Structure 1
Amino acid sequence: MRAFRVAYDGRPFHGFQRQPDVPTVEGAVFDALADLGVAEGTPAGYAAAGRTDAGVSAAAQTVAFECPDWLTPAALNSELPASVRAWASAEAAEDFHATHDAAYREYVYHCYAPDADLDRAAEALSELRGEHDFHNLTPDDENTVRDLRAEVRREEGYLVYTLRAGGFVRELVRRVVSLVRAVATGDAPPGKVETVLGPDPVEGPEGVAPAPAYPLLLADVGYPELEFEPDPDAAASAREAFGALGAERATAARVARGIADRL
């Protein structure tokens, strides 16, 4: 069994999990394995750390499966699109499961909020730390208790959130971001955090909608028993691919600002 760290730009994909007739990250990985002659369909022993939503990106998504010794991250990249790059691997026990054996997942969200007050954001986020029933911050109906670690910092016009937990219910990160931003900008009173964490359902206009998916990054997944070894060629390929993507989007942002400045 071998585990691979996989980075990807989520915007071209309809989420991580394979789906019929639409591009997904998992579908790209399975297609690459088929083209390499490793497996047709789902590889033996396959599991992934989690299923990111459409538009969500990753630096350390983790997939594990049985494969030949020659399948390095660089070999896998030879058949992957440039927006999906394997960059490290680790040998794992035969019974390793990338989902169930993860000690934690860590997400980072870049929220553009130049009018937000950092102190109010930090205070609101502090109320959400620890173990809570987050039933008002997810569409899930059960198993909604989580123990959350969370921090927020200011980077220019952005609030940058870092959230870590053993696992996340659906949309939890994006709804936490939405709630804290509303308090930090004055669109919601500070007491809304306590209301949302309370036992009563908070729905309709008083509910918390998820923030957009594309600023969300799966930054890390922890496996204490694994030692991931970066593949130098694969890691260089990943840095080049995502560096080029960053430059392209920075240029597009400059053009958009130039348009806005002339209106």
Structure 2
Amino acid sequence: MPRYTLKIEYDGTPFSGWQRQADRPSVQGVVEAALARLEPGLPAIAAAGRTDAGVHALGQVAHCDLRKDWDPFRLAQALNYHLRPAPVAVVDCARVGDDFHARFSALERRYLFRLVTRRAPMTHERGLVWQVPHPLERAPMQEAAAHLIGQHDFTTFRAALCQAKSPVKTLDTLEIEERACPGGQEFRFHLRARSFLHNQVRSIVGTLERVGAGAWPPERVRDALLARDRAACGPVCPPSGLYLTHARYDPDPFARPVRTDADN
């Protein structure tokens, strides 16, 4: 069976997460239902990251095995037709070898968290950011974030029900970008690692928000990390601001010119 990889974008608001569930809507379930319209009885698909309920994606990667030898561009267009009206889109598609696995072949994953500080309610981006009404200071948050870079035991920043075999992870990048937005400021947290623990990003950002608000000194984040105790963590922020933006592979299956309708 030919194997294809899909780059998928979605608004996670109406879903219980990526992973298929029997009684709740999921992104995986929606994509598999679209595939079933093309070829019924296919095996389950796999993804680079199992995003939680309400978490979004700009660059989720999944792979599927099909019976038909599809042109990747045609496959993407057919899937997008059957995905409507769900807020899910296949933005790229490529044929890959049988040894490619969306989860196990990934060399790193990148996440973005968007936090907006303003008192006026969000309108156009409601559900797409985490909004707080008070101002934040970027410099102390970046100082605190530096304590988390590198290989550490992240027990403090993992969910109690996390199923990872080890809490030790290497966080390669944690950068905080600040930009003006109407009525306030937006802070974008960029995180990069080979893999993440369950709730790790939301736990980190929720803790750094306390630093930016002046409720925690930056050194307390270091102490919380070293405590290896979930009770030492700050608040876990909501999923609305979190995006899976990229999964890296070598070679990159999508590294080719993107075909357009003009090529037909």
Q: Where does residue 173 of structure 1 map in the other structure?
A: 201
> Given that residues 111 and 160 in structure 1 are in contact (C-alpha distance below 8 angstroms), is that contact kept between their aligned partners in structure 2?
yes
The 5 Å alignment of 1:131-150 reads 131-139=151-159, 140=162, 142-148=165-171, 149-150=173-174
TM-superposed deviation, 1:154: 0.5
**1:19 maps to amino acid:** Q
The 5 Å alignment of 1:102-181 reads 102-113=106-117, 115-139=135-159, 140=162, 142-148=165-171, 149-156=173-180, 157-181=185-209
Quote the Cα distance in structure 1 between the aligned partners of 2:5 and 2:54. 24
Provide the secondary structure at the position in 1 that maps to 2:82. Answer: coil
> Given that residues 104 and 222 in structure 1 are in contact (C-alpha distance below 8 angstroms), is that contact kept between their aligned partners in structure 2?
yes
> Given that residues 203 and 233 in structure 2 are in contact (C-alpha distance below 8 angstroms), is that contact kept between their aligned partners in structure 1?
no
TM-superposed deviation, 1:200: 4.3
TM-superposed deviation, 1:171: 0.6
Task: Please list every run of 5 or more consecutive structure 1 residues that lacks an aligned counterpart in the other structure.
Answer: 234-263
Say whether 1:79 aligns with 2:82: yes
TM-superposed deviation, 1:120: 0.7
Inter-CA distance 5–200: structure 2 relative to 1 (3 Å threshold): closer
Quote the Cα distance in structure 2 between the aligned partners of 1:232 and 1:213. 34
> Given that residues 42 and 65 in structure 2 are in contact (C-alpha distance below 8 angstroms), is that contact kept between their aligned partners in structure 1?
no
Inter-CA distance 6–95: structure 2 relative to 1 (3 Å threshold): same
**1:111 maps to amino acid:** L
Between the two proteins, the alignment pairs up a number of residues equal to 228
Q: After the TM superposition, list the runs of 4 or more consecutive aligned residues in structure 1 that deviate by more than 4 angstroms.
A: none
Q: Where does residue 59 of structure 1 map in the other structure?
A: 58
Task: Please list every run of 5 or more consecutive structure 2 residues that lacks an aligned counterpart in the other structure.
Answer: 118-133
Provide the secondary structure at the position in 2 that maps to 1:79. Answer: helix
Quote the Cα distance in structure 1 between the aligned partners of 2:57 and 2:208. 23
Bigger drift between 98-107 and 122-131 goes to: 122-131
CA-based RMSD: 1.7
Q: Which has the higher helix share?
A: 1
Quote the Cα distance in structure 1 between the aligned partners of 2:226 and 2:235. 17
Provide the secondary structure at the position in 1 that maps to 2:252. Answer: coil
1:89-146 alpha-carbon deviations (Å, 9 max, x no partner): 1221112111010011000000123511111111111111111111000123741111
> Given that residues 87 and 231 in structure 1 are in contact (C-alpha distance below 8 angstroms), is that contact kept between their aligned partners in structure 2?
no
Quote the Cα distance in structure 2 between the aligned partners of 1:222 and 1:80. 25
Give % identity.
32
The 5 Å alignment of 1:1-263 reads 1-36=3-38, 38-40=39-41, 42-43=43-44, 46-67=45-66, 68-70=68-70, 72-82=75-85, 83-113=87-117, 115-139=135-159, 140=162, 142-148=165-171, 149-156=173-180, 157-203=185-231, 206-228=232-254, 229=256, 230-232=258-260
1:189-226 alpha-carbon deviations (Å, 9 max, x no partner): 222111111144241xx432311101111111101213
> Given that residues 154 and 228 in structure 2 are in contact (C-alpha distance below 8 angstroms), is that contact kept between their aligned partners in structure 1?
no
Superposition TM-score, scaled by structure 1 size: 0.81
Inter-CA distance 78–107: structure 2 relative to 1 (3 Å threshold): same
TM-superposed deviation, 1:69: 2.5
Inter-CA distance 201–175: structure 2 relative to 1 (3 Å threshold): same
1:21-62 alpha-carbon deviations (Å, 9 max, x no partner): 2111000011111112x232634xx32111000111101111
> Given that residues 56 and 217 in structure 1 are in contact (C-alpha distance below 8 angstroms), is that contact kept between their aligned partners in structure 2?
yes
Superposition TM-score, scaled by structure 2 size: 0.81
**1:225 maps to amino acid:** P
Bigger drift between 95-104 and 81-90 goes to: 81-90
Q: Where does residue 125 of structure 2 map in the other structure?
A: none
